[in-house]
Structure 1
Amino acid sequence: MNRRDILLHGVRLTAVAVLLPPTARKAQAQTAAVVIDNFTFNPPEVKVKIGDTVTWTNHDDIPHTVVSAGKFRSKTLDSDDSFSFTFAAAGDYKYFCSLHPHMTGMIKVE
């Protein structure tokens, strides 16, 4: 704890600053990107932390979706459309394209 005495209009004030160690400061949320191209999710597996957002962007010239049963579901994404989801809980989130079920991916949230 740091103390600093300040004299203001003849009155002595004491200011106290509490500095938190770097590990106690809240980390800022991050964004991870997944590209949909040539009927694949790339990268096929992404590791993020709770509070992070993943954004999928379709670079194919045909529509795709991003679906994790009971967790999230995108609208149909045309070329260059994106879908984002922020992960609030830890776990493994398997997902797929509902139009092309052989397309699969995984988000691991720690």
Structure 2
Amino acid sequence: MLMLAASAGFSAVQAQEANAVVIKNFMFSPMAITVKTGATVTWKNLDGEPHTVVNDAGLFRSAALDQNETFQYKFDKPGIYKIFCGIHPNMRATITVQ
């Protein structure tokens, strides 16, 4: 039973990592991900410069994220969400929610 609990915890960690986007070298990585409806995506800024996470349809906008800070958003509806950095608009990514 302990093994089952441990493996369930491991799966939850893997799932969380699968919904993670790293901001590094003035890029979102990965630049495109697909998640399930109801999933929460976490962005983490690893650059020494601040960045924001902005949805082009205006659904959400993070505050400026300094190095090692994170932002999360839960995607409740299926669709294709275009993301960019409000400070560096050439930084773009796509989140597909199924």
* TM norm structure 2: 0.80
Partner of 2:52: 65
Q: Does 1:47 align with 2:71?
A: no
Identity of aligned residues (%): 49
Amino acid at match of 2:83: Y
Structure with the bigger RCO (C-alpha within 8 Å, sep 6+) is 2
Question: How many Å apart are 1:103 and its aligned residue?
Answer: 0.2
Equivalent residues, number: 82
| Structure with greater strand percent | 1
| Structure with greater helix percent | 2
Amino acid at match of 2:28: F
Q: Cα RMSD over matched residues?
A: 1.2
Long gaps (5+) in structure 2: 1-11
Off by >4 Å, runs of 4+ in structure 1: none
Q: Secondary structure at the match of 1:73?
A: coil
Long gaps (5+) in structure 1: 1-27
* TM norm structure 1: 0.72
User: Residues of 2 paired with 1:49 and 1:73: CA distance?
Assistant: 21
Partner of 1:36: 23
Question: How many Å apart are 1:72 and its aligned residue?
Answer: 1.1
Q: Deviations over 1:56-107 (max 9, x none)?
A: 0000000000000321110000000000000000000001000000000000
